Amino acid sequence: MSTTLDAPAEFRRVTAASPVVAIVGATGAVGVELLGCLEARGFPLSRLKLLASPRSAGKTMHFRGKDIGVEALDDNSFEGVDIALFSAGSGISKRYAAAAVKAGAVVVDNSSAFRMDPEVPLVVPEVNAAALAQHRGIVANPNCVAAIATVALAPLHRAHPIRRLQAATYQAASGAGAAAMEELRLSTAASLQGESFEPKVLPHPYAFNLFSHNAEMDEASGYNGEETKVIAETRRILGAAELPIGITCIRVPVLRAHAMALTVEFDEVVSVEEARRLLEAAPGLRLVDDRARNHFPMPSEASGQDDVLVGRLRTDLGDPSGRSLAMFVAGDQLLKGAALNAVQIAERLLSGR
């Protein structure tokens, strides 16, 4: 099958045996992880092209034992590129994705630019890989919370449609980029030494502190942009357009793995045992649910791991009907929440599955 853009329902696979892959935003926190995932997973690429802002051009990055120079992104960057992994913010995606598609590449975009575009599939491979068949050159990689949450929710939702979801998040610094991670380290070091620290990257002090997510606030509804994204994207990925979702997104002083408390209501009573079985059998998940040892999902154990951790499964005492389950989830924001999911999408584009 050849690479074409014509028929809407056609699955435009990447057919090069050893595709050329470009990373846009290679020097960012997610860019670094994209390199790592491509290498760790033995992604069958013939050439890796690293693109970034002119400021970062000229740097070199290490990949498969070689140094690769970072080039400045421009309209001609995508010639000969089969897969372009974008991770440089919405503005860059909106500006350059069309050029990449025009040059023949399939774009996997980690920004929010196209996530709600009906012509762009929003994909978590374990959950809705079939949506890839609709792509027309661009595939959107979801918000980190939505990606991590849906891996844990989908196995339950498939067996027993979820009717209502309540979430409170515990989000790591990495979601705000490498500079936020460094601000967490520096401000914490200052605090331990009794020194003052002026936050530059995040709007509030971060050392031993937490705060409502720093995404833009919709003043009318009182929900911030992070919460709005998670609601819309979770619905889209699960194929549950009307699912009521209540959510509070909080930034906590953790470096790179997100956690979340989820409460899920079904139409009927779903036993903890059945939920455990469903989650245990599901791809991309690891059940960490040891009541005797008080061992449940933690950012420290999710960091650097491909699998999303799920546990603390129990019948929710807040629902007198007994039809709700509570659980706690942790996943690496930079991996399943970003780079890993993008590379998994790219793998599916190659295999056509």
Q: Specify the stretch interacting with a second copy by CB under 8 A; choose among 80-88, 89-97, 105-113, 290-298.
A: 290-298
Q: How far is CA 265 from CA 208, 219, 235, 272, 328, in A?
A: 33, 29, 15, 13, 15
- Minimum distance, C-beta of residue 201 to a second copy, in the bound complex (Å): 14
246, β-bridge pairs = 166
Q: Is 276 annotated as a binding residue?
A: no
292 binds a second copy (CB under 8 A): yes
- The type of residue at 216 is E
> Under rule CB under 8 A, how many of the chain's residues touch a second copy?
59
272 binds a second copy (CB under 8 A): yes
Selected from 78, 114, 266, 328, the binder of a second copy by CB under 8 A is 328
- Catalytic option among 135, 144, 213, 249: 144
Look at phi and psi of residue 334 and say left if phi exceeds 0, alpha if psi is from -120 to 50, else beta.
alpha
> For the window 245-264, what string marks contact with a second copy as x by the rule CB under 8 A?
xxxx-x-xxxx---x-x-x-
**CB 178, CB 29: distance < 8 Å:** yes
Residues 189-228, interacting with a second copy (CB under 8 A) = 189, 192, 203-205, 208-212, 214, 217, 219, 221-224
305 binds a second copy (CB under 8 A): no
The token pair that represents 289 in the structure block: 């649910």
The token pair that represents 119 in the structure block: 């012509």
Task: Give CA–CA dist 263/88, Å, rounded.
Answer: 33
Q: Is 30 annotated as a binding residue?
A: yes
Q: Considering the complex, state which of residue 25 and residue 297 has its C-beta at the smaller distance from a second copy.
A: 297
Q: Of 335, 299, 255, 352, give the one whose Cα is nearest residue 87.
A: 335
Task: Give CA–CA dist 66/145, Å, rounded.
Answer: 34
Q: Considering the complex, state which of residue 44 and residue 244 has its C-beta at the smaller distance from a second copy.
A: 244
Q: Cα 147 vs. chain centroid, distance in angstroms? A: 5
116 binds a second copy (CB under 8 A): no
Q: Is 175 annotated as a binding residue?
A: yes
**CB 349, CB 46: distance < 8 Å:** no
Q: Considering the complex, state which of residue 49 and residue 256 has its C-beta at the smaller distance from a second copy.
A: 256
- The angle that helices 29-40 and 178-192 make with each other, rounded to 10 degrees, is 110
178 binds a second copy (CB under 8 A): no
Selected from 5, 57, 98, 168, the binder of a second copy by CB under 8 A is 168
Phi, psi dihedrals of residue 96, rounded to the nearest 5°: -115, -10
304 binds a second copy (CB under 8 A): no
179 binds a second copy (CB under 8 A): no
Q: Other C-beta atoms within 10 Å of 164: how many?
A: 15
Q: How far is CA 157 from CA 118, 153, 232, 264, 324, in A?
A: 22, 6, 16, 9, 12
Q: Considering the complex, state which of residue 111 and residue 174 has its C-beta at the smaller distance from a second copy.
A: 174
Active site residue 144: yes
**CB 310, CB 156: distance < 8 Å:** no
Active site residue 249: no
The residues assigned a catalytic role are 144, 258
* Residue positions forming the annotated binding site for phosphate: 115
* Residue positions forming the annotated binding site for substrate: 171, 251
Site for a second copy, rule CB under 8 A = 164-166, 168, 170, 184-185, 188-189, 192, 203-205, 208-212, 214, 217, 219, 221-224, 231, 244-248, 250, 252-255, 259, 261, 263, 272, 291-292, 294, 296, 298-300, 312-320, 324, 326, 328
* Residue positions forming the annotated binding site: 27-30, 55-56, 115, 171, 174-175, 251, 333
